[in-house]
Structure 1
């Protein structure tokens, strides 16, 4: 408890500007953590490979229009649906394997960027909080040593100890902000990697199915015409 009281007193010291700057970094990092945690753990599931099996069944049956409609419906909630719809549309337009792959890769890149957005800022804010803490400590020590130059011998020890205590609080607060931010950066980055790998594997499965089955489907269309 004394530690937190000491941090509170540091907000009213002469070097409080550093404490407020670290607090700003903490507020932003906490906001990013909450937003990304909801986006990656609540709104997204590691289930894209299971979803791909349903779409793959439609592709194997040769009904690309049905597969496209199903993908568009799935795409309202799951990223795989958007990726699959791009590839299936290219197959319906009688594009080659390269065109199908390029269309799917384009959407995959967008979905990967959407998953990983803002996570990198956590590492940056952790480093900023640490550096601000060190900078605040250094400037606090400078002020403390400058303050005792005009004080009498009896007051020097008291002024110096108080100044050093306040200055060290800035570093402590910087670390209090940095450590959770770095931990959550690792957790969120790991989650983003799992989601991305799951999506890529599911998309690859659909691309393989399209690569094998889109030519017979277009042949059927030409025969019907």
Structure 2
């Protein structure tokens, strides 16, 4: 493994750094979506009983304990429950636009890494081929076989390394984008149900 990394040359360093960063982001986002989903399920279960009994203090405490984007928007709705219905909805919509970036956190860097890793692999391929042709040009028909093999290895290893980082990054980026869209839709549905109860249309 280490011999392959050495064969890839200096281009391998940024590719490895991209791989480490992508791995961190993927693990962090998987954990985040799992935890927030679990907390939101519990939050909505608790809120149903609290809102039915108009126990708004306990509902607010549950929101604070959940500490999710959904709970933050629900807390805003609870704080504005005495407002005019239109004003409350406007406040809730504004709060939603504030919390959505919490779902999208680190996804832009992950998408950037998926593109950069491919380009770095391509760059390594180009530099490796340049070295290979330089060896051929300097040494007659074949040049030094050892140097030529090293240049070709650099071209191939960096290409493979770039793809190894890029492919999972693209897959998880698209997966997380779909998760974000689903979570936003779930949040809107949950908050709408809370607002309906707070406005007294459903008891």
Class of the TM-score when normalised by the shorter of the 2 chains = 0.7 to 0.9
> Of 195, 202, 221, which residue of structure 1 is paired with 2:190?
202
Give CA-to-partner distance per residue, 1:96-152, whole Å, 9 cap, x none.
112211222232223321122112321210110000000111011112211222214
Q: Give 2:28's aligned residue.
A: 35
Give CA-to-partner distance per residue, 1:177-209, whole Å, 9 cap, x none.
111111222222222322222111000111222
What SS is found at the alignment partner of 2:65?
coil
Tell me: CA distance 1:166–1:81, structure 2 relative to 1, closer, same or farther (3 Å): closer
Normalised to the residue count of structure 2, the TM-score between the two structures is 0.84
Q: Give 1:105's aligned residue.
A: 93
Q: Give 2:47's aligned residue.
A: 55
Q: Give 2:180's aligned residue.
A: 192
State how far apart, in whole Å, the 2-side matches of 1:139 and 1:28 are.
24
Name stretches of at least 5 consecutive residues in structure 2 with no aligned partner: none
Structure showing greater radius of gyration is 1
State how far apart, in whole Å, the 2-side matches of 1:12 and 1:134 are.
17
Tell me, yes or no, if the aligned pair for 2:25 and 2:106 is still in contact at 8 Å: yes
Alignment of 1:32-181 (within 5 A): 32-41=25-34, 43-45=35-37, 48=40, 51-52=43-44, 54-56=46-48, 58-59=50-51, 63=54, 66-79=55-68, 80-92=70-82, 95-153=83-141, 155=143, 159-181=147-169
State how far apart, in whole Å, the 2-side matches of 1:100 and 1:178 are.
44
Tell me: CA distance 1:209–1:38, structure 2 relative to 1, closer, same or farther (3 Å): same
Name stretches of at least 5 consecutive residues in structure 1 with no aligned partner: 215-225
Q: Give 1:9's aligned residue.
A: 3
Aligned length: 201
Normalised to the residue count of structure 1, the TM-score between the two structures is 0.77
State how far apart, in whole Å, the 2-side matches of 1:185 and 1:146 are.
39
State how far apart, in whole Å, the 2-side matches of 1:18 and 1:36 are.
28
Tell me, yes or no, if the aligned pair for 1:83 and 1:203 is still in contact at 8 Å: yes
State how far apart, in whole Å, the 1-side matches of 2:151 and 2:79 are.
69
Deviation at 1:91, TM superposition (A): 2.1
